[in-house]
């Protein structure tokens, strides 16, 4: 029940009026009427008078019991409403409002356009078909309703404006407008002039002015080569990995001018990190190191999964659960979350799914040389749409497979680079039509995958000493970027920018006493991150062309360390003075036992002190108190015989034979006769040497004999 209203119900020729009061429900504030046929006016008045009398009686009874006469206070007549008339009025109001909106939009378009006049759309036409007719009861005022109330209710608009009907949409489709208003369109002449102006601006802006390299910052990773880089899609976090096995996390928004990483981990123990990659959502990190098992970590550096290792004794590499040789590269699928790609020296490229928790690869692609033998895959990648998989092989070939077909290659170039030099990097352009390859033969080539027989452009004399040297496209696909390395002490490495169309050198940035191993040009930040061979990572940016990233941390001042002088008083504690080492004396019984133990001569006997000098009280002295100690100290040192021991024994042989004292009588019968040697060993050696020195022939000695 709400505010007063009048609802009609038609059942055949019967009409029902339901009137509701304005303040809740009560028998005195509303009534129902059912008119059958056409009752007379007198009967209606008679019924009203009877009903009013009943209401008065009820009010009197209520005032006696509850203290007030009615719920509504001053009684008013219920207002009568006609739904059909209300709907008709709403429809007219909606049409009027729609006409005003169309006129305003047409006026805005006319004011913005200069050469073409646009007429405002016609007024909204009335809804086709027969108009809803009101009943006679709705045209004539009800006997209990006031004419003023009904007139005011008919003129007021109730409810939102009605939407256009299906007939209006079919007849006048140009009046329909969905979504926000479109910006004003210029005439053909203006658009041509704007296009000419834009083209002139692009021609005036050379490529070297588009490189954001006016400023740079240096991030200290370590002392060894930075061999892997990755930026999340938003550009807020950077991760670096190197030959020192460390993985460092950098947060541009949280760093200050000190440029310190907020976390360092060693995900693969003693294996150098070769490749890093963020997912398309930036919530997971893919890590490929020198071992055969790739790992996935979350954004904060906690392990999510580790891929399985394959069986190295199986001949068919597609039958193993994982790689059996060291990994070289890894990357995420550009469209599907959870899919990632890895390549290894075991001549396979494998697709994995995070949902399988790394138990087994999803698909395996086998790379083969021209002779049909296995060849290691040194780099890999997805196309921008994820439909193609490219692998750069150790024999210098580029092999491209369809992501859904792993039997044969879709595109193949056997002589892309020098055989044995390997391909350090392969990268698709943003328009997905060109492929850039960097080889260990000091060259970089641009290929059109639609015509894969010969390269479009070739750049030479780009020194390469690392197997993960990068190459990439600029965000606008107008330039290509790569790095060069030099031997230690022989010069400076360079970051080289080339024009994509002509491979003409646009710009070169020298890095003193180091080489460029990794390079990354982020499309959102418009900043270039470089991994160097001296263990540092450099970020190049332009304050006017770049966004966030390094610009956020260089403006923050270093946090000063608060130096607090404190005087520390060292406290020396004896262990047995602490409460935990004290004897646990539990009441009077323990004290009595202690007194009893002290009275016992055995338990309370103090250990004897060591004896110094001669012995006393049955105790021997420390030295010289016994016969053996006396002999060892006095007699034995005086009878040391330095002569030949054999002669010393033979000196007593004749005496022992004539007068046996100890064992002679016992073993006289069974004792063998001693046969002593007539010559000593030294004498025998001297005689042998004398014989060897004799040069007389053997036949002559026999004759003389």
The string of pLDDT tens digits covering residues 295-327 is 999 998 999 999 999 998 988 888 899 999 999
pLDDT tens sequence across 613-636: 666 666 666 655 567 766 666 665
Question: Would you place residue 526 in the very low, low, confident or very high pLDDT band (cuts 50, 70, 90)?
Answer: very high
pLDDT exceeds cutoff 80 at 354? yes
Q: What is the reported pLDDT for 76?
A: 55
Q: What is the reported pLDDT for 207?
A: 86
User: CA-CA distance, 296 to 267, in Å (whole number)?
Assistant: 10
Q: What is the reported pLDDT for 298?
A: 93
pLDDT exceeds cutoff 90 at 393? yes
If you search the block for the tokens 């004419």, which residue do you land on?
Answer: 147
Mean pLDDT of the chain: 76
Average pLDDT over residues 373-384: 94
pLDDT exceeds cutoff 50 at 403? yes
Q: What is the reported pLDDT for 577?
A: 65
Q: What is the reported pLDDT for 568?
A: 65
pLDDT exceeds cutoff 90 at 126? no
Give the predicted TM-score (pTM) of the model.
0.54
Token couple for 468: 């993960």
Q: Which residue has the higher pLDDT, 55 or 490?
A: 490
Alpha helical stretches, state H, 537-694: 550-554, 587-599, 627-630, 645-650, 653-658, 681-693
Q: In sequence order, which residues have a C-beta less than 8 Å from that of residue 88 and are 6 or more positions away?
A: 131, 132, 134
Contact by Cβ (8 Å): 469, 482: yes
Average pLDDT over residues 670-698: 77
Among 680, 677, 659, 681, smallest CA distance to 668 is for: 659
Least confident among 134-143, 502-511, 653-662: 134-143
Pairs from 52-60 (Cβ < 8 Å, separation ≥ 24): 55/27, 55/28, 58/27, 58/28, 59/28
Q: Given CA atoms 314, 317, 321, 326 in this order, what sign does their dihedral have? A: positive
Q: Which residue has the higher pLDDT, 598 or 277?
A: 277
pLDDT exceeds cutoff 60 at 8? no
Bridge partners of residue 339, in order along the sequence? 353
Question: Would you place residue 597 in the very low, low, confident or very high pLDDT band (cuts 50, 70, 90)?
Answer: confident
User: CA-CA distance, 419 to 463, in Å (whole number)?
Assistant: 17
pLDDT tens sequence across 421-464: 899 999 999 999 999 999 999 999 999 998 898 999 999 999 99
Pairs from 511-516 (Cβ < 8 Å, separation ≥ 24): 511/538, 513/489, 515/465, 515/466, 515/483, 515/484, 515/485, 515/486, 516/469, 516/482, 516/483, 516/484, 516/485
User: CA-CA distance, 39 to 378, in Å (whole number)?
Assistant: 101
Average pLDDT over residues 143-166: 49
Element (H, E) at 285: strand 284-289
First to last CA, the chain: 158
Element (H, E) at 686: helix 681-693
Question: Would you place residue 4 in the very low, low, confident or very high pLDDT band (cuts 50, 70, 90)?
Answer: very low
Q: What is the reported pLDDT for 14?
A: 41
Average pLDDT over residues 656-660: 76
- For β-strands 339-344 and 273-278, DSSP reports them as unpaired
User: CA-CA distance, 102 to 408, in Å (whole number)?
Assistant: 61
Contact by Cβ (8 Å): 289, 268: yes
pLDDT exceeds cutoff 50 at 12? no
Q: What is the CATH number of domain 208-555?
A: 2.130.10.10
Q: Which residue has the higher pLDDT, 389 or 678?
A: 389
């Amino acid at each position: 029940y709400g505010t007063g209203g009048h609802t009609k119900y038609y059942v055949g020729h019967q009409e029902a009026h339901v009137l509701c009061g304005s303040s809740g429900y009560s028998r005195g504030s509303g009534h129902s009427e059912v008119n059958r046929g056409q009752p007379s006016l007198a009967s209606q008045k008679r019924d009203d008078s009877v009903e009013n009398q009943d209401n008065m009686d009820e009010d009197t009874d209520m005032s006696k019991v509850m203290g007030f006469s009615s719920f509504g206070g001053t009684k008013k007549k219920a207002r009568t409403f006609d739904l059909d008339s209300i709907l008709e009025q709403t429809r007219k109001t909606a049409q009027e409002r729609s006409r005003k909106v169309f006129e305003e939009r047409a006026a805005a378009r006319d004011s913005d356009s200069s050469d073409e006049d646009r007429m405002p759309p016609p007024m909204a036409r009335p809804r086709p078909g027969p108009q809803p007719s009101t009943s006679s009861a709705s045209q004539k005022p009800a006997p209990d309703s006031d004419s003023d109330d009904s007139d005011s209710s008919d003129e007021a608009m109730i409810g939102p404006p009605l939407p256009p009907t299906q007939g209006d949409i079919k007849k006048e489709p140009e009046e329909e407008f969905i979504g926000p208003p479109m910006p004003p369109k210029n005439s053909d002449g203006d658009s041509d002039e704007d296009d000419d102006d834009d083209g002139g601006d692009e021609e005036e802006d050379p490529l070297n002015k588009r490189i954001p390299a006016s400023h740079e910052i240096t991030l200290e990773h370590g002392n060894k080569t930075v061999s892997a880089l990755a930026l999340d899609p938003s550009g807020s976090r950077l991760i670096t990995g190197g030959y020192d096995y460390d993985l460092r996390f950098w947060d541009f928004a949280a760093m200050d001018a000190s440029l310190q990483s907020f976390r360092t981990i060693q995900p693969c123990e003693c294996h150098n990190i070769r490749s890093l990659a963020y997912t398309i959502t930036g919530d997971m990190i893919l890590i490929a190191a020198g071992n055969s098992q790739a790992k996935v970590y979350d954004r904060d550096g906690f392990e999510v999964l580790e891929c399985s290792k394959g069986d190295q004794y199986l001949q068919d590499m597609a039958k193993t659960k994982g790689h059996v040789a060291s990994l070289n590269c890894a990357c995420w699928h550009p469209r599907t979350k959870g899919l990632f790609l890895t390549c290894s020296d075991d001549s396979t490229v494998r697709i994995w799914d995070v949902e399988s928790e790394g138990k087994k690869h999803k698909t395996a692609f086998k790379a083969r040389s021209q002779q049909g033998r296995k060849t290691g895959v040194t780099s890999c990648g997805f196309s921008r749409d994820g439909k193609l998989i490219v692998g750069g092989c150790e024999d210098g070939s580029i092999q491209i497979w369809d992501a859904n077909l792993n039997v044969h290659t879709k595109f193949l170039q056997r002589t892309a680079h020098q055989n044995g030099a390997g391909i350090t990097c392969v990268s698709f352009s943003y328009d997905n039509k060109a492929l850039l390859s960097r080889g260990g033969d000091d060259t970089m080539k641009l290929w059109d995958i639609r015509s894969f027989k010969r390269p479009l452009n070739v750049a030479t004399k780009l020194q390469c000493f690392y197997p993960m040297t990068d190459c990439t496209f600029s965000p606008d696909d107008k330039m290509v970027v790569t790095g060069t390395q030099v031997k230690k002490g022989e010069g400076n490495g360079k970051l080289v920018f080339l024009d994509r169309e002509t491979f003409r050198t646009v710009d070169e940035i020298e890095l003193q006493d180091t080489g460029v191993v990794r390079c990354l040009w982020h499309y959102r930040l418009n900043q270039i991150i470089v991994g160097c061979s001296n263990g540092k990572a450099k970020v190049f940016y332009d304050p006017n062309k770049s966004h966030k990233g390094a610009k956020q941390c260089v403006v923050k001042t270093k946090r000063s360390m608060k130096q607090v002088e404190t005087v520390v008083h060292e406290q020396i504690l004896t262990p047995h003075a602490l409460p935990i080492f004290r004897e646990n004396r539990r009441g009077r019984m323990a004290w009595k036992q202690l007194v009893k133990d002290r009275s016992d001569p055995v338990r309370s006997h103090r250990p004897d002190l060591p004896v110094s000098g001669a012995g006393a009280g049955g105790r021997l002295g420390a030295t010289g108190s016994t016969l053996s100690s006396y002999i060892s100290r006095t007699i034995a040192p005086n009878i040391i015989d330095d002569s030949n021991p054999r002669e010393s024994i033979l000196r007593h042989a004749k005496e022992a034979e004539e007068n046996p004292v100890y064992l002679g009588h016992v073993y006289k019968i069974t004792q063998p006769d001693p046969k002593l040697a007539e010559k000593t060993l030294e004498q025998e050696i001297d005689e042998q040497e004398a014989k060897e020195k004799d040069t007389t022939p053997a036949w002559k000695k026999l004759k003389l004999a």
